[in-house]
Amino acid sequence: MKKLVLPLLFLSFLLETQAQTKLPPLEHASLQFKLALKAIDQAKTKNANLVSPRSLREDTLFMVPSRDWTSGFFAGNLWYLYELSGDQFWQQKAREFTANLEREKTNGTTHDMGFKMYCSFGNGYRLSKDPQYRDILLQSARTLTTRFNEKIGCLRSWDHSKDKWDFPVIIDNMMNLELLFWAFKQTQDSLFYKVAVSHANTTMSNHYRPDYSSYHVVGYDVKTGQAIQKNTHQGYSHESAWARGQSWGLYAYAMCYRETGKTAYLQHAENIAQFILNHPNLPKDLVPYWDFNAPDIPNAPRDASAAALMASAFYELGSLVPTKAKFYHHTADKIFKNLTKKYRTAPNTHAGFLLTQSTGHLPGKHEINVPIVYADYYYLESLLRKKNLRKS
């Protein structure tokens, strides 16, 4: 009888582990974020200025202060989890992590106001209608507009690397326009709308190649307003298609169409979609390599964060284009299913992150094939959009 105990215990453990790996996404997220909260508490005992998890570096939780461009995503994750579950515990935690970011509302040294403030306070205001959140968001939007150069027609991205670019604009910056569109709807102040539309139009003209792939960075001459440099800083080469950059554009131009009704933005988003989906180097599971032109494909690292962005964008595109809804929603479902099946973390591992195999900055040699907080954010947003589609 005793000889059977260990095999039975092992079989029980194996069955329990297999059951956990098949957890529905919401249950998996709830389990993982409870682990994340414990890991965050331990990390903050070493440095109280750290407000949000960003990734794993050398298998250790990497936390960031509020000034980091990724600082708003974890608060946003908690708001999404509250919205998906209805559990007040997650609203309480979302409020705690959101409050840590308020100081950023007047930080005019960064273009990442949308990432930091709209993902956190924006979701918070949408779900709670807290008037304080509204005030903080409006101040954040006003701060963002101070980075607009009227001659160039864009919001400045980086203040660093002045030896490389006079006025750099990165494709990621398109994502911050949603905060400006929101501020316009709240106030009817045309400044917010004009800045957002100008930035979107200028980026559409200068960031995109004839095949609708995007450069990462375009450098402008402040005196003439002309685009004088076109680079791909985080990709394989200047002329390559950095995967997350393509996803930023896809998502952002679909959003711009939703906010403005301008068909040029919808057409552009659909052209980007066709570039991505028809690319010969896109894997069958639709989770892209970190760069579509990486020389070591099929052995190149994947980027689950780019795939999560794509899934969320395709859910939105399907809602915006009823005649193609079935195709776009099927594509989003396939990406989401594959992320859940093949790229999700095992329960109670990875310091509470949801997805593995994201690539942050391969040329910079950090955050390669690891969990990253914004991958989780767009994965949960995809889950929410999927759920809302079923309701409608």
Characterize 70-108 residue by residue with b for buried, 16 or more Cβ atoms within 10 angstroms of its Cβ, and e for exposed: bbbbbbbbbbbbbbbeeeeebbebbbebbbbbbebbebe
112 is in an annotated binding site: yes
Looking at 68, 172, 291, 376, which residue is catalytic? 172
Q: Is 283 part of a structural domain of the chain?
A: yes
Residue identified by tokens 């840590």 is 100
Answer whether 358's CB lies under 8 Å from 289's CB: no
In 3-state terms, what secondary structure has residue 163? coil
Asked if 130 is an active-site residue, the reply is: no
Q: Is 13 part of a structural domain of the chain?
A: no
Answer whether 52's CB lies under 8 Å from 104's CB: no
242 is in an annotated binding site: no
Mean pLDDT for 10-17 is 42
pLDDT of residue 46: 80
- Which residue range is the domain that position 189 belongs to? 19-391
Q: What is the rounded end-to-end Cα distance, in angstroms, of the chain?
A: 56
Q: Decide if pLDDT at 186 tops 90.
A: yes
248 is in an annotated binding site: yes
Residue identified by tokens 């393509």 is 246
In sequence order, what DSSP letters do the residues of 93-150 get, joined into one string? HHHHHHHTTGGGGG-TT-STHIIIIIIIIIHHHHHH--HHHHHHHHHHHHHHHTTEET
Residues of the chain with pLDDT > 90, as a percent, come to 90
Q: Where are the beta strands (DSSP E) in 227-380?
A: 227-231, 358-361, 366-370
CATH number at residue 235: 1.50.10.10
The pair of structure tokens assigned to 295 is: 């020389």
Q: Decide if pLDDT at 392 tops 90.
A: no
| pLDDT category of residue 18 using cuts at 50, 70 and 90 | very low
Q: Is 14 part of a structural domain of the chain?
A: no
Q: Is 8 part of a structural domain of the chain?
A: no
| pLDDT category of residue 192 using cuts at 50, 70 and 90 | very high
pLDDT of residue 361: 97
Tell me how many domains the chain contains.
1
Q: Is 238 part of a structural domain of the chain?
A: yes
Looking at 41, 59, 87, 112, which residue is catalytic? 112
Asked if 172 is an active-site residue, the reply is: yes
User: What are the pLDDT digits (tens) for 80-103?
Assistant: 999 999 999 999 999 999 999 999
User: What are the pLDDT digits (tens) for 255-279?
Assistant: 999 999 999 999 999 999 999 999 9
Q: Is 111 part of a structural domain of the chain?
A: yes
Q: Is 1 part of a structural domain of the chain?
A: no
Question: Who contacts 349 (Cβ-Cβ below 8 Å, separation ≥6)?
Answer: none
Residue identified by tokens 């997650």 is 90
Q: Is 6 part of a structural domain of the chain?
A: no
